[in-house]
């Protein structure tokens, strides 16, 4: 697993699963919250990567 995107998805899935289990009691709420958090992680990372693309090191 050398792709940064796959590592990002794996990290987002792990963190969002833990946060959803800690926040919600019912299974449907946990799944919905985990998907929402993971989508936020991935979407924010893609947006920030796209915004930083024009700026070279």
- Whether 17 has a pLDDT exceeding 80, the answer reads yes
Q: Which of 16, 15, 4 has its CA nearest to residue 48? A: 4
Compute the half-sphere exposure of residue 49: CA atoms within 13 Å on the CB side of its CA.
Answer: 9
Place of tokens 């985990």: 34
Q: What is the pTM of this model?
A: 0.85
Confidence of residue 57 (pLDDT cuts 50, 70, 90): confident
Confidence of residue 18 (pLDDT cuts 50, 70, 90): very high
Q: What is the pLDDT of residues 22-55, one digit of tens each?
A: 999 999 999 999 999 999 999 999 999 999 999 8
- Whether 1 has a pLDDT exceeding 70, the answer reads no
């Amino acid at each position: 697993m050398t792709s940064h995107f796959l590592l990002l998805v794996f990290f987002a899935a792990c963190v969002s699963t833990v946060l959803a289990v800690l926040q919600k009691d019912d299974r449907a709420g946990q799944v919905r919250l985990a998907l929402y958090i993971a989508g936020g992680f991935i979407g924010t990372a893609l947006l920030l990567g796209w915004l930083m693309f024009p700026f070279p090191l």
